[in-house]
């Protein structure tokens, strides 16, 4: 029997089609099944044979690595490398991603009458979003395969992450963005990290379609979440969360949904832990979309996940302004295997949730706040019960979209007053 090595990168992987189940060892440039063109997922056949003792040992190894200063141990992704594609140490591109805080939400918990409400803040990653975990994994595979140029289409965060990790790896990066629909913080990041930024007169879905054609003719490695190695990095949030919760599985984990890879990755992480016997049950994973960009919510409502209902996306939560999500099949499978649901929330509900989080000192971007807005609906519908533990995954940092906040808080900005203590005290007496 093959076992997982405990001190070197782990089980070898293969790629399996999520549509027809065909297995292949290498992916083409588009990361599509050679038989039916559906998306691929990474699987580790050896893991099925892992003994329970070995699985328990993994928990110890992962914990020990937290105290190590080697980059591949300090990374909240590569620390779990037994459950990742094997990559030579010299090809690992890491900036200590992952390792994000799990925060108690006091006021929001009280308002919803939930005893245990937590936020896993993925906006605390090196470039300010959860994308860093996935990009670290996939760009390391790209480096190992000898690529010197990477690319993505993006609503903003992927572009920032790709640009930063490419710079660290000494690679060129190309990003295609929907002109006029990317929050300025994200655009500024991509430029500052040295990406070649092309703004296209279309939306995210249009950018991704163009990129599909580009990569077939141009030697750039695709780092969008069609790339199954992205999900391998992103799934590690489940491992880290379980460590932080002392391996007690929460009842619900709630994520925002755009292209639908992140909810899929989270589900994959929990399923792998269950298959290894490290957890006995799964949390219900629910996905929240903006009402103006709700293809999954409609797909579940209108045909129970059988056929994607595409929409013309429009929302001020620009990160999730996506109408034709690539990973919808994977996301439907996660909802079905964990018993989660997909809900959509209005622009007003997102804005209110974001300000509530802000008022308890937890900043995040609008897309992330959709999780709290969705939770409110799920509590009211009775899907989330008063005794249950809930974790919201906050996907992006507050400073990504400053314009959104300044607009929302415009009424709070006071007009300038004289630089004089009496004038200041007079004003304070009025407002306090
Ligand atoms: N939250 C934030 C902050 C995001 O940037 C994204 C996606 C999501 C949630 C949704 O994740 O697409 O895996 O369902 N942003 C992508 C980008 C599309 O290009 O940055 P998903």
Ligand 1 and 320: CB distance under 6 A: yes
**Bigger pLDDT: 4 or 229?**
229
| pLDDT of amino acid 10 | 54
Rounded to an integer, the average pLDDT of 375-385 is 98
Contacts of 307 (CB under 8 A, 6+ apart): 299
- Closest CA to ligand 1's atom 3: 396
The answer to whether the beta carbons of residues 213 and 206 sit under 8 Å apart is: no
| pLDDT of amino acid 328 | 98
Q: What is the pTM of this model?
A: 0.96
The answer to whether the beta carbons of residues 398 and 123 sit under 8 Å apart is: yes
Q: H or E stretch including 43?
A: strand 40-43
CA of 321 to the centre of ligand 1 (A): 9
366-380 helix and 347-359 helix, angle to the nearest 10 degrees: 100
The answer to whether the beta carbons of residues 75 and 97 sit under 8 Å apart is: yes
Q: What are the tens digits of pLDDT across the range 46-91?
A: 888 888 898 999 999 999 999 899 999 999 999 999 999 999 999 9
CA of 367 to the centre of ligand 1 (A): 8
Res 3 pLDDT > 50: no
What is the distance between the alpha carbons of residues 94 and 101, in angstroms, rounded to a whole number?
Answer: 18
End-to-end Cα, the chain, rounded Å: 70
Coil, helix or strand at residue 196: strand
The answer to whether the beta carbons of residues 157 and 131 sit under 8 Å apart is: yes
CA of 315 to the centre of ligand 1 (A): 13
- DSSP tag of 372: H
CA of 259 to the centre of ligand 1 (A): 7
CA of 153 to the centre of ligand 1 (A): 11
Contacts of 301 (CB under 8 A, 6+ apart): none
Ligand 1 and 261: CB distance under 6 A: yes
Q: What are the tens digits of pLDDT across the range 382-422?
A: 999 999 999 999 999 999 999 999 999 998 888 899 999 99
CA of 295 to the centre of ligand 1 (A): 14
Of all residues in the chain, the percent with pLDDT exceeding 90 is 93
Ligand 1 and 158: CB distance under 6 A: yes
Q: What is the mean pLDDT of the chain?
A: 95
CA of 271 to the centre of ligand 1 (A): 22
Q: What are the tens digits of pLDDT across the range 139-192?
A: 999 999 999 999 999 999 999 999 999 999 999 999 999 999 999 999 999 999
Q: Which atom of ligand 1 is nearest to the CA of 256?
A: 9
Res 359 pLDDT > 70: yes
Rounded to an integer, the average pLDDT of 336-355 is 98
Ligand 1 and 264: CB distance under 6 A: no
Ligand 1 and 225: CB distance under 6 A: yes
H helices of 227-365, where? 228-234, 236-244, 261-275, 295-303, 328-338, 347-359
User: Could you tell me where the beta strands, DSSP code E, fall in 154-195?
Assistant: 172-178
The answer to whether the beta carbons of residues 382 and 388 sit under 8 Å apart is: no
| pLDDT of amino acid 275 | 94
Ligand 1 and 371: CB distance under 6 A: no
Label residue 254 by pLDDT band (50, 70, 90).
Answer: very high
What is the distance between the alpha carbons of residues 343 and 284, in angstroms, rounded to a whole number?
Answer: 13
Ligand 1 and 323: CB distance under 6 A: no
């Amino acid at each position: 029997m093959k076992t997982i090595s405990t001190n070197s990168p782990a089980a070898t992987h293969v790629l399996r089609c999520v549509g027809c189940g065909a297995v292949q060892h290498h992916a083409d440039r588009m990361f599509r099944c050679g038989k039916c063109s559906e998306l691929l997922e990474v699987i580790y056949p050896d893991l099925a044979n892992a003994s329970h003792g070995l699985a328990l040992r993994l928990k110890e190894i992962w914990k020990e690595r937290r105290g190590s200063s080697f980059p591949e141990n300090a990374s909240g992704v590569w620390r779990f490398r037994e459950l990742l594609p094997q990559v030579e140490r010299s090809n690992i591109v890491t900036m200590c991603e992952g390792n994000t805080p799990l925060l108690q939400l006091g006021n929001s918990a009280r308002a919803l009458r939930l005893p245990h409400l937590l936020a896993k803040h993925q906006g605390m990653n090196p470039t300010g979003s959860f994308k860093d975990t996935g990009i670290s994994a996939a760009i390391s595979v790209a480096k190992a395969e000898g690529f010197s140029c990477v690319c993505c289409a993006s609503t903003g965060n992927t572009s920032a992450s790709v640009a930063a990790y490419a710079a660290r790896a000494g690679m060129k990066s190309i990003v295609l963005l929907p002109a006029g629909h990317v929050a300025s913080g994200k655009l500024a990041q991509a430029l500052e990290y040295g990406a070649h930024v092309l703004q296209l007169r279309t939306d995210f879905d249009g950018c991704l379609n163009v990129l599909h054609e580009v990569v077939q003719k141009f030697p750039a490695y695709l780092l969008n979440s069609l790339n199954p190695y992205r999900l391998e990095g992103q799934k590690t949030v489940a491992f880290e969360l379980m460590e932080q919760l002392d391996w007690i599985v929460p009842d619900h984990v709630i994520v925002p949904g755009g292209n639908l890879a992140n909810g899929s990755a989270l589900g994959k992480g929990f399923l792998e832990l269950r298959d290894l016997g490290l957890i006995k049950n799964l949390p219900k994973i629910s996905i929240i979309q903006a009402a103006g960009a709700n293809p999954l919510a409609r797909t579940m409502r209108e045909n129970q996940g059988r056929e994607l209902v595409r929409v013309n996306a429009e929302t001020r939560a620009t990160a999730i302004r996506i109408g034709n999500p690539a990973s919808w099949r994977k996301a439907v499978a996660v909802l079905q295997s964990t018993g989660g649901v997909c809900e959509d929330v209005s622009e007003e509900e997102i804005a209110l949730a974001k300000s509530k989080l802000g008022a308890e000192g937890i900043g995040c971007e609008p897309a992330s706040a959709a999780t709290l807005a969705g939770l409110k609906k799920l509590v009211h519908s009775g899907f989330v019960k008063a005794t249950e533990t809930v974790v919201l995954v906050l996907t992006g940092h507050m400073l990504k979209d400053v314009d959104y906040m300044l607009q929302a808080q415009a009424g709070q900005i006071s007009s300038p007053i004289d630089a004089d203590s009496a004038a200041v005290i007079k004003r304070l007496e009025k407002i306090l």
